[in-house]
Structure 1
Amino acid sequence: MAGELPRRAVVAGIAATAVVSLADCSDPATKTPPSETGVPSKQPTIYLPHGGGPWPWIPTMNASLGPLRAYLEGLARALPEPPAAIVCVTAHWEAPVTTLSTNAAPTMYYDYYGFPSHTYELVWGAPGAPGVARRVRALLEAAGIKSAEDSARGFDHGTFVPLAVAWPEAQVPTVQMSLVAGLDPTAHLEIGRALAPLRAEGVLIIGSGMSYHNMRGFGSDRGALDSRSFDAWIGEVVTRDAASRAAALARWTEAPAARASHPREEHLLPLMVAAGAAEGDAATLPFRGDVLGARVSAVHFG
């Protein structure tokens, strides 16, 4: 299969016999037109599961994750209008301070191992958004939060995998944002609060992770039980009022099966950023399903 692929193949044209071309999933007729007033609609803030590795381009994984794929394919249509830009907080990047990608033409970073060779040739060619990155840094500075820039880092799979399914045409300028080393949940809630003004500017904030992420638990009976316990807690907590929600998320380790679901919490912390940016907006859970035998959810605020 890898031998059939051109070097650095464009995502939308990859492996047509194995998976549906991502470009075919985009229906311009269903897209909401931009606001006629010229004022951007306020975007929601989203926490979503990005699945396992480059799953959309591996036929067996793609087939087993059909509900997740369907959710991601419908994501753009669920927005009030096409976003002016995306800020994606990825579980696969940690830095000493909040760090933003600033390359106007980001490269690819294949931060997974042991997958077929063609998955190391994927390209999701969304442009970067250096101006949005500067705006993010200004908001963080105003909140007293340190930040930095990185012009070299490419899109990792926490960013390009879900966004390539949701936006196969790669037309939305995208900034990738790191977690902060130490993984303090309160600090990440505060980062989200600082970014909240972006939403009224038409910028979509996405936290990309997994609401269950225990590599030893995937595919096991124990993991299935633990993930359901933790997922039930998430479903109850995110629908609370903003103050109660934030307080519970800051104490997430007290939740049922918390450490069994997240031995290390980097895949949960993007939820804190999304929840912080939500301010007082209510939450919905438009996707609740199984990934590798574990229950995971997507949360939309606003």
Structure 2
Amino acid sequence: MKQPTFFLSHGGGPWPFMDGDYRRAHAPLEASLQALPASLPARPKAILMISAHWEEAAFTVMTSPAPGMLYDYGGFPAHTYEVVYPAPGDPALAERVVALIEAAGLPAARDAQRGFDHGAFCTLVPMYPQADMPVVQLSLRQGLDPAEHLALGRALAPLRDEGVLILGSGFSFHNLGLMFSGRGQAPSVAFDAWLQSALPSPEGRAQRLQAWAQAPAARQAHAREEHLLPLMVAAGAADAGAGSCNYHQTDYLGGLTASSFRFG
């Protein structure tokens, strides 16, 4: 059955492996991720994960049958640098992804050494805690061109009919300077309101996303847009599918507004 696509706000660092107030701050996000598999039309055959935490000169696909871990965060408890999410890779899916990207005239490459970064494993742990779902990670492309990432999504759209769940993992608000200074509340509200209005209707959605930097508080919400680009891939793969918000929190880490979205 045809799978939807998702843009997921993935939270801060290795939060699923922590306890206390920091973990509790992620409770609404955790609940939304735990509920996601049951909302699907069928169990996926595999997941294609586009994470904000991987950029390459070409769209690069993880090809390992048993990916390792990449602890791409700092300042967290020691045990969070030893956690493991042992989901299998899917080399056949990786080759299919390369073929689709190249057929669309976009540059593609392979990486047999790359491990799961926290944009990937911190969304997957609540969704599939048994780590029994095959996962392939796909990078962003350096330059962070919105149109190019929308085109990537369109190229990947056939995977939806093949039972592959396409997940874009980023964050609807990602300005750490404003976040940690307590000045992020207003821009996060303003930009989130634009997302809520821009994403539901497929009519003109691609044009709105290409011009995202003109949205209210856009460059305050995303001083650098790597955490927004996975949205372009998910929306591009959705084609004419309607969008809906499947996670919305107005008190994330002291008052930020954050959201995730489903397409199709």
> Within 5 A, what are the aligned runs for 1:224-243?
224-242=185-203
* Partner residue in 1 for 2:259: 297
1:50 aligns with 2:10: yes
Distance 2:56 2:205 in 1: 26
1:84 aligns with 2:49: no
- Amino acid paired to 2:127: A
1:194 aligns with 2:140: no
Distance 1:89 1:55 in 2: 19
- 8 Å contact from structure 2 (residues 202, 239) kept in 1: no
* Partner residue in 2 for 1:284: 244
* Partner residue in 2 for 1:215: 176
- Flag the structure with larger Rg: 1
The farther-off stretch of 214-223 and 178-187 is 214-223
The alignment-based identity, stated in percent, is: 52
- 8 Å contact from structure 1 (residues 219, 294) kept in 2: no
> Within 5 A, what are the aligned runs for 1:1-302?
41-59=1-19, 60-242=21-203, 244-289=204-249, 290-292=251-253, 293-302=255-264
Distance 2:263 2:120 in 1: 19
Per-residue CA shift, 1:249-290, capped at 9, x if unaligned? Answer: 000000000000000000000000000000100011011114
TM-score when scaled to structure 2? 0.97
Give unmatched runs, 5+ long, in structure 1.
1-40
Q: Secondary structure at the match of 2:92?
A: helix
Distance 1:219 1:114 in 2: 14
Per-residue CA shift, 1:225-269, capped at 9, x if unaligned? Answer: 100100000010001224x10001000000000000000000000
Q: How many matched pairs?
A: 261
- 8 Å contact from structure 2 (residues 55, 140) kept in 1: yes
Distance 1:66 1:272 in 2: 26
Q: Secondary structure at the match of 2:174?
A: coil
- Amino acid paired to 2:237: A
- 8 Å contact from structure 1 (residues 95, 178) kept in 2: yes
- 8 Å contact from structure 2 (residues 64, 112) kept in 1: yes
Give unmatched runs, 5+ long, in structure 2.
none
Distance 2:70 2:181 in 1: 30
CA separation of 1:117 and 1:221: change in aligned 2, threshold 3 A: closer
- Amino acid paired to 1:277: A
* Partner residue in 2 for 1:5: none
Distance 1:278 1:195 in 2: 9
Per-residue CA shift, 1:90-132, capped at 9, x if unaligned? Answer: 0000000100000000000000011100001111110001100
Deviation above 4 Å: which 4+ runs of structure 1?
none
Displacement of 1:72 in angstroms is 0.7
Q: Secondary structure at the match of 2:183?
A: helix
Displacement of 1:220 in angstroms is 4.8
- Amino acid paired to 1:279: D
Distance 2:178 2:124 in 1: 26
Distance 1:291 1:125 in 2: 29
The CA RMSD measured in Å over matched residues stands at 0.9
